[in-house]
Structure 1
Amino acid sequence: MTGVHSRVDDDGVAVVTLDRPQARNALDWAAWESLGEQLAGLDRDDVRAVVLTGGDRWFSAGGDVTSMGSNPGSGVTAPAARVRLAHRVVRALTTCRAPVIAAVEGFAVGAAWGLVLSCDLVVASREAFFAAPFAQRALVADAGLAWSLSRHVGHQRAAELLLLGERLPADRAHELGLVTRLVAPGEAGESALALARRLAAGPADAIALTTSLLRRAPDRTLDGFLDDEHVAVALNGHSPDLAEGRQAFLEKRPPRFR
């Protein structure tokens, strides 16, 4: 058992579930490896939206601290062998053709928070919280969390969250722009699925290209971004969905995208 399973529905929505309830979905070596492989396998045309969830009780307690001493690897970088797996997952989330939605119940702690912030949209229970208690455990923040937090909330707030490790309630995370939508407890999964189905029914090419532009924008100069935008608009001009969108607008009817 790897503690991760996935499925793809007929409507093109993929659901990836962290499932190690005995460890509050903490990710050990096998789970990290499986998560990376499954996410990479979903980067294909028939998958139009992805939901990443930990189920109805919690998202994840982060990396499995109890198994960290058993990392395979050798040499000076051996203690960071597991981080390579986490990085593979982060890259899979941030390069997936389809938009990725995190559904958070309970909590997302440590590296799991890094995974959440690697998603395009985040739906969280109002009672959920986030935390990064790395320093309190004599650990260095991983899963790209220092990069993600600095990018979203700036150096000062990121430093506070990472160095002090205090809990950040979901409502405050929403105020800071770290959560897209707040929902009642127990409804994060269904709400994320509803968003995913809405995206899956839309124009796949335009959504994929827009998602790519959004992910790349913060690291581009304006000139560089405008070049990317020019290419994206040109590519989308070849999409059958564009013609359908125009025709539906002219005929004043809902579009029927492929």
Structure 2
Amino acid sequence: MTTDVILTRTEGAVLVLTINNPATRNSIGPEFFRAASEALAGATGDPAVGAVVIAGAGDFFSSGGNLNQLAATREITPEARRARLELLHGLIREIRRSPKPVITAVEGGAAGAGMSLALSGDLMVAARNAFFAASYVKAGLTPDGGLTALLAESVPRQLLTQICLTGERVSAERMNALGVVTTLTEPGRAEAAAIEMGRQLAQGPERATGRILDLCRTAPILPLEEQMDREAQSMVASLGDPEAVEGIAAVLGRRSTDFVSLRRTARQGGA
């Protein structure tokens, strides 16, 4: 699928979504939010997709919301502004509930809502020279797209406050040291590295991967007792899953696992 604002392609079992607005450093708005949400929803039910990569066209991830468009929202009602904002929040929710790993690949920079989008993935690959900026305050605005919640999963409150109040750039290398960026690459290599990571993850056990993603997403926000209950539910389900039969047999037999063939057999049996 190709639209003006998003390009989609597949690299093996990896769906690559590319923000396609290089003239504005890949600014994002309602049309992109709708198209990306639709693509992610499609990936959820597509057995051929094992992972998703989100990248920006050219040498920049995303500059966030288009300020000219945002300025125009002064002329609409607060209710209409909220409805527009919910398109962004709907996309972030779609990413955070995806049963497939979502990897963001950051070149150049990620600012404003672009930073929110970069943070929303399960893993993040970034070029060493990239930067991140919660630049809302410089335009007299406040963060959206879950930026404060997503960043608070990785950094102390004081650092979160500094990043949001100053709007200053934070280097990818510092974000890597903080654990926000999971992999650093040389400039121009972030997307390729993210795709390779996605290919590796797509070889894993599909249902166990989805359960792990769900647990990792709730771990920072749920109390210990509730999280352990969720872990217990997932382990009980996993122990009765054919994936565990293959995985345990492979470990005990000192051989490589073959979850891909297992999935193929299961789908053929259900066809």
Q: TM-score range by the shorter chain?
A: over 0.9
Question: In the aligned structure 2, how far is the partner of 1:169 from the partner of 1:225?
Answer: 33
Question: In the aligned structure 2, how far is the partner of 1:144 from the partner of 1:114?
Answer: 6
The answer to whether the Cα contact below 8 Å between 1:93 and 1:100 also exists between their aligned partners in 2 is: yes
Residue 118 of structure 2 corresponds to 116
What RMSD, in angstroms, separates the aligned Cα atoms of the two structures?
1.8
The answer to whether the Cα contact below 8 Å between 2:106 and 2:190 also exists between their aligned partners in 1 is: yes
CA displacement, residues 114-145 of structure 1 (integer Å, 9 cap, x when unaligned): 11111110000000000011111011111111
Q: CA deviation at 1:83?
A: 1.3
What SS does the corresponding residue of 1:17 show, helix, strand or coil? strand
The answer to whether the Cα contact below 8 Å between 1:7 and 1:16 also exists between their aligned partners in 2 is: yes
Residue 26 of structure 2 corresponds to 25
Amino acid at match of 1:17: T
What SS does the corresponding residue of 2:174 show, helix, strand or coil? helix
TM-score by length of 2: 0.89
CA displacement, residues 26-84 of structure 1 (integer Å, 9 cap, x when unaligned): 01221222122222222225121111111340101111112224559954333333211
* 1:14 and 2:19 aligned: no
Residue 42 of structure 2 corresponds to 41
Amino acid at match of 1:171: E
Structure 1: 5+ residue runs without aligned partners?
none
Residue 240 of structure 1 corresponds to 242
* 1:151 and 2:153 aligned: yes
Amino acid at match of 1:50: V
Q: CA deviation at 1:108?
A: 0.5
Question: In the aligned structure 2, how far is the partner of 1:12 from the partner of 1:242?
Answer: 22
Residue 217 of structure 2 corresponds to 215
Q: CA deviation at 1:103?
A: 0.5
What SS does the corresponding residue of 1:182 show, helix, strand or coil? strand
What SS does the corresponding residue of 1:142 show, helix, strand or coil? coil
The answer to whether the Cα contact below 8 Å between 1:105 and 1:128 also exists between their aligned partners in 2 is: yes
CA displacement, residues 172-224 of structure 1 (integer Å, 9 cap, x when unaligned): 11111110011111110111011100000111111111111000111111110
Residue 137 of structure 2 corresponds to 135
Question: In the aligned structure 1, how far is the partner of 2:125 from the partner of 2:163?
Answer: 20
Range moving further from structure 2, 61-70 or 100-109: 61-70
Q: Sequence identity, in percent?
A: 36
The answer to whether the Cα contact below 8 Å between 1:125 and 1:185 also exists between their aligned partners in 2 is: yes
Number of positions where the alignment pairs a residue of Structure 1 with one of Structure 2: 257
The answer to whether the Cα contact below 8 Å between 2:21 and 2:57 also exists between their aligned partners in 1 is: no
* 1:253 and 2:248 aligned: no
Amino acid at match of 2:205: P
Q: CA deviation at 1:99?
A: 1.0
Residue 101 of structure 1 corresponds to 103
* 1:161 and 2:163 aligned: yes
Residue 264 of structure 2 corresponds to none
Amino acid at match of 2:17: V
Amino acid at match of 2:20: D
TM-score by length of 1: 0.94
The answer to whether the Cα contact below 8 Å between 1:90 and 1:143 also exists between their aligned partners in 2 is: yes
